[in-house]
Amino acid sequence: MIFSETRLLGAYTVDLELNQDARGYFARTFCQREFSEHGLIAHYPQCNVSYNRDKGTLRGLHYNRLAHEEAKLVRCQVGSIYDVIVDLRQGSPTLGQWLGIELSAQNHRMLYIPKGFAHGFLTLTPHSEIHYQMSEFYVPGAGLGLRYDDPGIGIEWPEAPRVISQRDRNYPDWHPEGEDD
C-alpha cells in the first residue's frame, strides 16, 4: 500500500499496489502493521457497506459527538464517488477546511479519515458500493451532521445532488466554536 498524507493534517489517501498477472490482480486493502507504522488507527471492530442505486446520490456530511468520534477507512468497491471530508478538530491548523477526492473501483484508492472529521460523498455513477472500516462501534444517538452546501465551508461538488435524505438536507450550518459532547 502507498500512503500519501493529504493537505488536511492526519488524513491520508491509500493506494493499492496491484500484483497483476493473466488472472487479474491481488492486493492488500489493509495491514495493521503498515497503518500503525504511519501513526494511523489500526483497529477496526466494525465494517459497513453503503449501496447507492442512483448517480447523484449524496450522503453526509456526518460526524459523531466528541465522546464517540471514529476514524474511517473508506473505499469505493463498485462505481465511483466524490468523497469529501471536513476538518472539525478544534485547534487544528486545517480547521474548517475540506478536501474532495474521487474514489472508484478503477483507481483502487482509499481514504483514511481521522477522528474529528465530517464525511460525506456524492455518487458519480449509478450502483455505487462503498465499504467503510470503522474504528468504533456504532452508538445510537451519537451521530451529528452539517449541511453539505454550507456556504461557510464552500464545498465544490462536481455536480448538484439529485438524491438526498431529508435528514442530510436539513442539517445545520457548521459553527467552528465547537459542538456539544
In angstroms, the CA 137 to CA 132 distance is 12
Q: Give CATH for domain 7-13+43-169.
A: 2.60.120.10
pLDDT at 178: 57
Tell me the whole-structure pTM to 2 decimals: 0.93
In angstroms, the CA 35 to CA 21 distance is 27
Catalytic residue among 62, 119, 138, 175: 62
pLDDT at 179: 55
Alpha carbon 95 to chain centroid distance? 16
User: What average pLDDT does range 105-128 have in this prediction?
Assistant: 98
Q: Mean pLDDT, the chain, as a whole number?
A: 95
- Note the pLDDT tens digit of each residue in 71-99: 999 999 999 999 999 999 999 999 999 99
In angstroms, the CA 47 to CA 169 distance is 25
| Annotation marks residue 62 as catalytic | yes
pLDDT at 177: 72
- Note the pLDDT tens digit of each residue in 117-134: 999 999 999 999 999 999
User: What average pLDDT does range 63-67 have in this prediction?
Assistant: 92
Where in the chain are the domains?
Answer: 7-13+43-169
In angstroms, the CA 158 to CA 161 distance is 9
pLDDT above 90 (res 175): no
Nearest partner of 147 among 179, 174, 175, judged by Cα: 174
Catalytic residue among 12, 38, 63, 132: 132
